[in-house]
Structure 1
Amino acid sequence: MGAPKLSPDQTAILDAAVKGGHFRSQTQGQRIKCRALNAKGLLRRDPKDGDVWYPAEAVKPAAAEPVAAVPAVVAEPEADAPRRTGSVEIVSMLVTAARLFDEGDIQKARVIADGAYDLSQAEARFAAKYAATRALVPKFRQLQGDALLMETRCKMELARAYDAAQQAGSAAKKGRPKNVAGEDIFKQADAGLTRQEIHEARKLVAAEEKAPGIAERAIAARVAAGLAPTRAGLRAAIGTRSATKEERGHNLYETGAEAMHVLLALEEFSPTVLEPACGRGAISRMLEAAGYSVVLSDLVDYGTADANGELQAVIDFRETKPGEGECHDIVTNPPYGEALNSFIAHALRVHRPRKMALLLNSNAYFGFEDPDRTYIMETCPPARRYAFSRRLPMMHRDGWDGEKASSQMNTEWFVWERQPDGSYGNTTVCKRVYWPDFMPVAAESEAAE
């Protein structure tokens, strides 16, 4: 096999490393080139300082010779493994993206970095299929991490540019160009990002300002741990995807009226309803407005009272026992997280309500490792699922005072109904519902008619 082909910049870096004994990368473009040389077996990285690179042993004796003459050792793939040249293409794409980023062409850099991310991810998955190429998986994951970091930096720069344009009055706000004078309007589409991507990029910017270098460290940590550096993994690692357990506190997310309008239109309940996770009364107020009496309780004392002024009970629902006679129907938005499965299972095992309606994440229907999950979805399956074809408005956690975000969660009403034989049946019917169709008509619209 011939000598590796190097770009002029790669040749200059390798020559500097050989002559000086090491090379320190100072820009993202240089880091990408050094990693490419590392992939070719020409540079090795300092284990303590990721920006310091040393010439490989095979290169040192050839210091006086042209760099292009340095041989590279490349593992031959298995006979049944198709030959692929993805690494060369990915490195070239990353070098181009870094150059465009340095030149200020952020949109093009982002597009190329996005392509490099997808390609390196695909190559890593392909390499994992064959024994002789599995050793390449870490290299492709490193390239995927480089692409993700470049893409992240591009998104942050584009979000900053969009926000700066809004502050200057030259960008449309909330998708309404009429609030900008003249025709020189900078829109989200001009930034190359969707509204959701801009929102996520703003959170990345805030995280970087609070802890500089956090994105790069999070990506490097996943690669070092042998994990694929994914976008979802990055959001989770630096806390931009969801709140921490400490921030979530008591898991109080007030249920919106949109969800209750749908439920009350589709289901009827016993005259008195039990609300065992009442929070501040978002569900109970609408139940009472519809003519039901409500028994309130919650693990946390929110001081919530019913229409007659009776305060909620403060108790962990999972420790309650059934009272005398028939259990009231149950309607609630239960606490998510670790308590969810045991909360629902306790209701079905111990209280055995005639009917129970819970607002849940659609993912609650899946999973089998938790025995409680299997019990509530298989042994005692819900009779009906009302899946919202349009996501409900975001339910922000109690005390949230930041920007309002659009919802990323698919939610449904799960309704259990006890059958005449005492079981909860064995069939679940799922129906899609469009919640705007259930919203009440405004009084002024009625007057106009």
Structure 2
Amino acid sequence: MTRTANTSAAVRQQRHEAPDSLDDFPTPPWATRALCEELAREGFDLAAMDAWEPCCNRGYMAEPLRESFRSVFATDVKDYGYAGQNGVADFLIDWAQDAPKVDFVVMNPPFKLGLEFIQHALKHARVGVAAFVRSAFVEGGARYGALFRDRPEALVLPFVERVVLWRGVLLDPEVPVWRVKKDGQGALEKPTSATAYSWLVWIKPPMWNGRSEHRRIAPCRQRLTRPGDYPPLPQHLRAQEAREDQGKLEWV
């Protein structure tokens, strides 16, 4: 596996989507490093393993994975300009012989397609699958019947501190951004989130003992944040560049 562009027939297949239909919520790098620490704690030698990141977006998850895994195959249904992307392709296609041989599939899947992405990932991963999802993903009869009842997670890893995601941009949660509120008044504020996130990890037999473990990820954002993780604050989110349409900034 290399970081050069893959031009196979499977990778060239694309699902064309309207820009506003994509779940464009980049994952903060520290949240991926937290997963890698948990996997290492379970005894996995990630430096000897290969991973597939099928929702690579702008690379904010793939790059931290490359710090721990031997190699990372990065794809996405859209080209976001990430230099390390191996191909533009829909993960849910029939990859056949073009599928990379990987130990783990690690991803932040589209919320509405989370079930399908996890099921598909379990077909390709030799060892396991890790999905970054809203903690409420574990609820619901449909997902229980289609996935959790017969293939429960090996690890349920909720974050103690909130992982804040923004649509279309990765922002440093320590840097205030300018927002226009409903009353028309603007102010600088650090965004917060009412949404809780977890890593769900499936380990395939024979490495899995059949039991599920629930373990919280202790506060670690500051410890696992590295210089250069966050791009510069976009001009339109700075106070001096405030405009009427800045209230459209969305975080979840």
Report the secondary structure of 1:302's partner residue.
Answer: coil
Report how far residue 353 of structure 1 moved: 3.4
1:340 counterpart (94, 111, 114): 114
1:395 counterpart (165, 168, 175): 165
User: Structure 2: which 5+ residue stretches go unaligned?
Assistant: 1-17, 171-176, 180-189, 228-252
Report how far residue 376 of structure 1 moved: 2.4
2:140 counterpart (367, 372, 376): 367
2:29–2:225 contact (8 Å) kept in structure 1: no
1:259–1:435 contact (8 Å) kept in structure 2: no
Counterpart for residue 224 of structure 1: none
1:317 counterpart (91, 115, 123): 91
* 1:277 maps to 2:50: no
Summarize deviations over 1:386-415 as a string: whole Å, max 9, x none.
1112212x1101159864521111111111
* 1:358 maps to 2:128: no
1:303–1:312 contact (8 Å) kept in structure 2: no
Counterpart for residue 106 of structure 2: 331
Report the secondary structure of 1:386's partner residue.
Answer: strand
Report the secondary structure of 2:78's partner residue.
Answer: coil
In 1: Cα distance, 2:156 partner to 2:83 partner? 30
Alignment-mate amino acid for residue 214 of structure 2: C
Report how far residue 276 of structure 1 moved: 0.6
2:30–2:221 contact (8 Å) kept in structure 1: no
User: Compared with structure 1, are the counterparts of its residues 322 and 418 closer, same or farther at alpha carbon in structure 2 (3 Å cutoff)?
Assistant: farther
User: Compared with structure 1, are the counterparts of its residues 303 and 359 closer, same or farther at alpha carbon in structure 2 (3 Å cutoff)?
Assistant: same
In 1: Cα distance, 2:133 partner to 2:223 partner? 20
Counterpart for residue 77 of structure 2: 299
Counterpart for residue 176 of structure 1: none
Structure number with greater CO (CA < 8 Å, separation at least 6) is: 2
Counterpart for residue 249 of structure 1: 21
In 2: Cα distance, 1:317 partner to 1:328 partner? 16
Matched pairs, number:
187
User: Compared with structure 1, are the counterparts of its residues 402 and 426 closer, same or farther at alpha carbon in structure 2 (3 Å cutoff)?
Assistant: farther
Counterpart for residue 258 of structure 1: 30
Two-structure CA RMSD over aligned residues (Å): 2.9
TM-score by length of 1: 0.38
In 1: Cα distance, 2:191 partner to 2:159 partner? 18
In 2: Cα distance, 1:430 partner to 1:384 partner? 6
User: Structure 1: which 5+ residue stretches go unaligned?
Assistant: 1-245, 444-449
Report the secondary structure of 1:433's partner residue.
Answer: coil
Report the secondary structure of 1:346's partner residue.
Answer: helix
Summarize deviations over 1:229-248 as a string: whole Å, max 9, x none.
xxxxxxxxxxxxxxxxx885
Report the secondary structure of 1:318's partner residue.
Answer: coil
Counterpart for residue 287 of structure 1: 65
Report the secondary structure of 2:115's partner residue.
Answer: helix
Counterpart for residue 130 of structure 1: none
Report the secondary structure of 2:36's partner residue.
Answer: helix
In 1: Cα distance, 2:200 partner to 2:152 partner? 9
Question: Which is strand-richer, 1 or 2?
Answer: 2
Report how far residue 273 of structure 1 moved: 0.8
2:26–2:169 contact (8 Å) kept in structure 1: no
Report how far residue 335 of structure 1 moved: 1.1
User: Compared with structure 1, are the counterparts of its residues 379 and 287 closer, same or farther at alpha carbon in structure 2 (3 Å cutoff)?
Assistant: same
User: Compared with structure 1, are the counterparts of its residues 367 and 402 closer, same or farther at alpha carbon in structure 2 (3 Å cutoff)?
Assistant: farther
1:360–1:414 contact (8 Å) kept in structure 2: yes
Report how far residue 332 of structure 1 moved: 1.1
1:275–1:330 contact (8 Å) kept in structure 2: yes
Summarize deviations over 1:147-195 as a string: whole Å, max 9, x none.
xxxxxxxxxxxxxxxxxxxxxxxxxxxxxxxxxxxxxxxxxxxxxxxxx
Alignment-mate amino acid for residue 133 of structure 2: L
Summarize deviations over 1:68-112 as a string: whole Å, max 9, x none.
xxxxxxxxxxxxxxxxxxxxxxxxxxxxxxxxxxxxxxxxxxxxx
* 1:379 maps to 2:150: yes
Counterpart for residue 184 of structure 2: none
Question: Which is helix-richer, 1 or 2?
Answer: 1
Which residues in structure 2 correspond to 1:135-174 (within 5 Å)? Answer: none
1:248–1:397 contact (8 Å) kept in structure 2: no
2:135–2:198 contact (8 Å) kept in structure 1: yes
User: Compared with structure 1, are the counterparts of its residues 398 and 377 closer, same or farther at alpha carbon in structure 2 (3 Å cutoff)?
Assistant: same
In 2: Cα distance, 1:431 partner to 1:346 partner? 25
Report the secondary structure of 2:132's partner residue.
Answer: strand
Report the secondary structure of 2:216's partner residue.
Answer: strand
1:385–1:429 contact (8 Å) kept in structure 2: yes
Report how far residue 258 of structure 1 moved: 2.5
1:265–1:438 contact (8 Å) kept in structure 2: no
TM-score by length of 2: 0.64
